[in-house]
Amino acid sequence: MELSLSELIERRARFAALMERSFPDWDTAIIMDNTNQYYFTGTMQDGILLIYKDGSCLYGIRRSFSRGKEESPLPDREIVPIATYRDLAAIRGPRLGNVYIEGDTMPVITLERLKKYFEMASVNYLDAPLRVLRSVKSPYELEWIRRSGKKHQELLEERVPGLLREGMSEAEFMGELIAAMHRLGYHGLSRFHQFQTEMIVGQIGFGTNSLYPTRFDGPDGARGNGPAAPFAGDSSRRLARGDLVFVDIGFGIGGYHSDKTQVYLFGQKVPEALEREQRRCIDIQKRLAGQLRPGALPSRIYEDLLASIPPDQLQYFMGVDPGHRVKFLGHGVGLQVDELPVIARGFDAPLEENMVIALEPKQGAPGIGMVGVEDTYIVQKDGGLCVTGGGRDIMVV
């Protein structure tokens, strides 16, 4: 399945219309972020994309133009080779009017270099409308997410149990897990919007390692391989009988991700208390999924769910400890693992059909590890459609 020119034109038209509603004074959008370049052009090069108010665009590539030309459906008039920003300014003129940039990702020094060659009446930020635009997926995008979700389910439910063996380290497990992912067609990395997020595949923990706090804005933890590599597998932690194994990873095919978590127990029957907490998380996920309908408010979904949980069960809900609880229950998924919308307070824009959301109710079990579930859903008229199989009990290995 290939990305078509008509898909790119539709995305650009929707973007221009959204910018017109959000910022009527806009004249030019400058796109340089890798993920956004891919979204609008179908390739990811050392380049700069200008999208104009009339919906047209000009994509200048410094390296590699030959690859960009091969991969992108854009016509010749919209994709050109450049050596410097000056070359791009010479093609359509340096006057850009009121400019909107990616404030979350464009370095200040890059903006200063652009100002040497382009005239900008003002500089503002387009991050919010662009993330809103990308939150609603096209049939093309949904197909890739469905493919990813199917392989993701196979990975965690069928392949991972065969990888776990007594005495292996977390680092060894992570290496074998990555190999298994690639055998299933994994595209090789997990992309995040969050600033300075470095993730190999996700958060993995044997036993209490899954309760070790991290800087990542997620409910679970990871000890990693030391302070310099907090999300790599712990090379000193060995798998022993009775250990919980917590696996929270993204998967992806064709650039598009799914997100899923599965918990395992190695060599021992699941204690009733853990089984009870796991099933409570499954029940919460099902309740949340039923509310993923067009028009529903993420903030209301969040508030209603929290209000339904007894106070004595909230202490370790959505966190490794009371000081590291997160304030959301789900997040968008697509070209990046952490997209809009977010099921949290303050997100009051109604859900739309074909948004994709990962729901991840989780619970810390002090002294034991993290339990819970995460699965990826498509917002539909009759509730969320799961593409990763749905939450299931702790799997005994």
Is 320 a residue whose pLDDT tops 90? no
pLDDT in tens, 206-229: 999 999 999 999 999 999 988 998
CA dihedral 29, 33, 34, 36 (to 10 degrees): -40
Is 3.90.230.10 the CATH number for 136-396? yes
Quote the pLDDT of residue 197. 87
CATH of 5-133, one of 2.30.30.100, 3.90.1150.10, 3.40.350.10, 3.30.300.30: 3.40.350.10
* Residue extents of the structural domains in the chain: 5-133, 136-396
Residue 354 CB neighbours (<10 A) = 18
Identify the H or E element spanning 273: helix 272-289
8 — pLDDT class (breaks 50, 70, 90): very high
pLDDT in tens, 28-63: 999 999 999 999 999 999 999 999 999 999 999 999
Beta bridge partner(s), residue 48? 60
DSSP assignment letter at 169: B
Beta bridge partner(s), residue 156? none
Listed in sequence order, the residues at least 6 apart from 210 whose beta carbon sits closer than 8 Å to its beta carbon are 203, 204, 220, 221, 222, 244, 246, 320, 369, 370
- Asked whether the beta carbons of 370 and 263 are under 8 A apart, the reply is yes
User: Mean of the pLDDT values across residues 96-116?
Assistant: 97
Quote the pLDDT of residue 201. 87
- Asked whether the beta carbons of 366 and 316 are under 8 A apart, the reply is yes
User: Mean of the pLDDT values across residues 95-112?
Assistant: 97
Identify the H or E element spanning 372: strand 369-372
pLDDT in tens, 272-287: 999 999 999 999 999 9
What is the residue-wise DSSP string for 205-268?
EEGGGGGS--SSSSSS---TTSTT-TTS--SS-B--TT-EEEEEEEEEETTEEEEEEEEEE-SS
